[in-house]
Structure 1
Amino acid sequence: MPRATITQVAALAGVSIASASRALNGQIASAETVEKVRRAAEELGYVADAAARSLKLGRTQQLAYAVADIGNPVYVEMMSAVERVVSDSGYRLVISSTGTASSSLDVVRDLGRGYVDGMILSPLRVTTELLQALVDVPVPVVMLGVASQGSGLDTVQADSVTGMRLAVDHLVAEGRRSIAFINGPVDTTPGRLRLQGFEEAMRDHPGIDSRTVIAADFTIAAGHRAALEVLETAEGFRPDAVVAANDLIGIGVLHAADDLGRTVPDDLAVTGMDNTELSRVARLGLTSVDLGAEERGRVAADLLLARIADPGRAAHTVTVAPSLVVRGSSRRAQPSLRAVAREDAV
């Protein structure tokens, strides 16, 4: 059966083709005309030609969301928030995975093909080459992460440094005196900032013994291997607490503790970071630093839409404050379930 055309819709509605087009595209038209055209389109089963509409409007009505690991719950949480905002504005979200620096660069360079009207990018590693490519792209880009000063990019970032302080301060207040930090790769943005936060926090507690172990990745399996290393083989160091750089590593730590017969939280307290769904469904519940993933996604989407509407607007950088959600993996006593981050965010 042939597709209904805009000409047929206009004829059935009793209006000009131009009026029908304006009504269907959300442009200026009277309420009466919009209603007549809508009823005619429904009766005929009219579906707009997306390609033709894109050529006419100069837009694809698609936006890209590119992250390092689309299976990581924190990225899924951000994606859901982004999708809610952009879909309300008539956009479809296209998802890309960028596990390596070269993959991120390829995705950014592909923006020149014109398949989307803008992108929200959350790269693990930010290189000089990537930043230059972001400056050169022909469509707006919002960075979820940390961009260099003067890059001119709209940026939404977590405060991992303060988040690490919240976790360490909580463990010390719980009476822990030997704290291991299991981080992901330090050549990544989260790895670098979370190491900085842990080291700064430990300087505030000079009487606490500490050790840092670098896991191969921000995954459950990598966290499990690193936890076995620090819990079983570290000579002269027996931690009574572990700070994990994210919830996936934290779950790996819980598994390792169980493998080694270490009771959580009596023998070993464990904290994660990101406050993903994993932390809520883990046995006992995993204490975790909430870095505001949903809020970061929402703000990033708002910034991208604002940039599309006004390409000449000044660049904005928004930092979302962290908070600590205390659960059974670290709680001996009964502290407050939520400790708000310090106001002096780094």
Structure 2
Amino acid sequence: MADGPTINTIAERAGVSIASVSRVLNGLPTRQETVRKVMAAADELGYVRNAVARSLKSRRTHQVAFAMADVGNPAYLAMLREIQPVLKAAGYRLVLHSTDAVAADEIDVLHSLGERYVDGLIMSPLRVTEAHLRMLATARAPVVIIGSVPEGTRVDNVRADSRTGVRLAVDHLYALGRRRIAMINGPLDTVPGAARGAAYREALHDLGLPYDESLVQIGDFYRPEGARAVAALLDRVPDVDALMCANDLIALGALDVLRAAGKRVPEDVAVVGMDDTDLAAASWPSLTSVSLGSAERGKAAAELLLERLRGDAGEPRVVTVPPRLAVRASTAGPDYDRRQSGYDGEGGGK
């Protein structure tokens, strides 16, 4: 060891082949887990800060990471469908991370940028902590955040206008004559939960409706948790006539519970979701939902990151995607789905 670590000793310590070590040290495409093992072994042997660092400094991996809270959430899949082709056309491969909204996992992803396994990162965190902000300030590669960050954060940022989106939904329900409009939200310590909860309260105020704490139920942004939250609300407030749900998964859980309770949608209870995912149009009844431009946000984030990777060193940019309301049967009534399917109620199409 007097002459310092070699490829052979790194391979032995990492438990991989010599060829794998060579690929990592030369910045060639390699499995992420292999890169981690090799870099960890090289660090332990005192190799990182000389040969590896010099080798990786001038090389690119031609990989970009996308870190999201839940790979099964259709909103993130919509982003992914736009991110991948933009990056692929520019010669980049996409590496996916599903963090389960665990801050420590997101911090680890940001920290691992120093290992140079990717050239840049797109991240969509549900919570933005002080630890996130510290890591973003010292990130070793370009980062674009999909979602709101505190003012003054020096990072490229693509955000939705969920406050306007909630207002569109509440105004729509009010115009339909609904006055007992409940809010089924996700955790208030998340960026979307806080924004959508505040927007609901503001929308009621602007319409002259009182804010009633009993009409607010906090759950989580998943279908089973949404169902449990709606069941708890109905036990407490059985006369609710509309549900403003913080995302489509919560709204789908609401439809499950209302159906089981024998309540008609929208005759007894109108339901609105947010995100306007593919599931909204495919549900029964089809779901009125606020589109927050998931696909547009994904594309914008990929384009911003590419500009950084091409050398743009300008000031951080903020892109805001406007919302729109997609009205379907869960507020417009059963005739909506019949019209859309061409069914005339007499056994034939129109």
Q: TM exceeds 0.5?
A: yes
Match of 1:158? 160
Pick the aligned partner of 2:180 from 151, 171, 178. 178
One-letter identity of the residue aligned with 1:93 = L
Q: 1:118 to 1:125 in 2, by over 3 A?
A: same
Which deviates more, 146-155 or 271-280? 146-155
Secondary structure at the aligned position of 1:96 is classed as strand
1:260 aligns with 2:264: no
Match of 1:214? 218
Quick one: distance in 2 between partners of 1:53 and 1:116? Answer: 10
Q: Is the 8 A contact 2:244 2:272 kept in 1?
A: yes
Secondary structure at the aligned position of 1:288 is classed as strand
Quick one: distance in 1 between partners of 2:334 and 2:258? Answer: 21
Match of 1:202? 204
Match of 2:126? 124
Q: Deviations over 1:247-289 (max 9, x none)?
A: 0000000000011100001001000000001101001210000
Q: Is the 8 A contact 1:159 1:321 kept in 2?
A: yes
CA drift at 1:53: 6.1
Q: Deviations over 1:143-167 (max 9, x none)?
A: 0011122221000000110000000
Match of 2:92? 91
Q: 1:331 to 1:168 in 2, by over 3 A?
A: same
Amino-acid identity (%): 44
Q: Is the 8 A contact 1:178 1:209 kept in 2?
A: no
Quick one: distance in 2 between partners of 1:190 and 1:302? Answer: 23
Q: 1:109 to 1:50 in 2, by over 3 A?
A: closer
One-letter identity of the residue aligned with 2:298 = G
Q: Is the 8 A contact 2:205 2:211 kept in 1?
A: no
CA drift at 1:290: 0.2
Q: 1:130 to 1:50 in 2, by over 3 A?
A: closer
Quick one: distance in 2 between partners of 1:331 and 1:82? Answer: 33
Which deviates more, 147-156 or 267-276? 147-156
Quick one: distance in 2 between partners of 1:179 and 1:246? Answer: 16
Match of 1:8? none
CA drift at 1:106: 1.1
Quick one: distance in 1 between partners of 2:85 and 2:263? Answer: 42
Q: Is the 8 A contact 2:285 2:334 kept in 1?
A: no
Pick the aligned partner of 2:235 from 218, 222, 232. 232
Match of 2:148? 146
One-letter identity of the residue aligned with 2:236 = T
Q: Is the 8 A contact 1:174 1:333 kept in 2?
A: no
Which deviates more, 147-156 or 270-279? 147-156
Match of 1:44? none
Which deviates more, 124-133 or 53-62? 53-62
Quick one: distance in 2 between partners of 1:123 and 1:209? Answer: 29
Q: Is the 8 A contact 1:98 1:107 kept in 2?
A: no
Q: Is the 8 A contact 1:157 1:296 kept in 2?
A: yes
Secondary structure at the aligned position of 2:169 is classed as helix
Match of 1:192? 194
Q: Is the 8 A contact 1:177 1:209 kept in 2?
A: no
Q: 1:262 to 1:334 in 2, by over 3 A?
A: closer
Q: Is the 8 A contact 2:265 2:333 kept in 1?
A: no
Match of 1:61? 62
Match of 1:18? none
Quick one: distance in 2 between partners of 1:278 and 1:171? Answer: 21
Q: Is the 8 A contact 2:226 2:253 kept in 1?
A: yes
Q: How does 1:1-346 map to 2 (within 5 A)?
A: 52=26, 54=28, 58-99=59-100, 100-207=102-209, 210=212, 211-215=215-219, 217-234=220-237, 238-332=239-333
One-letter identity of the residue aligned with 2:99 = T
Secondary structure at the aligned position of 1:329 is classed as helix
Q: Which runs of 5+ in 1 are unaligned?
A: 1-48, 336-346
Quick one: distance in 1 between partners of 2:226 and 2:334? Answer: 27
CA drift at 1:135: 1.2
CA drift at 1:207: 3.6
Aligned length, in residue pairs: 284
CA drift at 1:311: 4.4
Q: 1:169 to 1:208 in 2, by over 3 A?
A: farther
Which deviates more, 134-143 or 56-65? 56-65
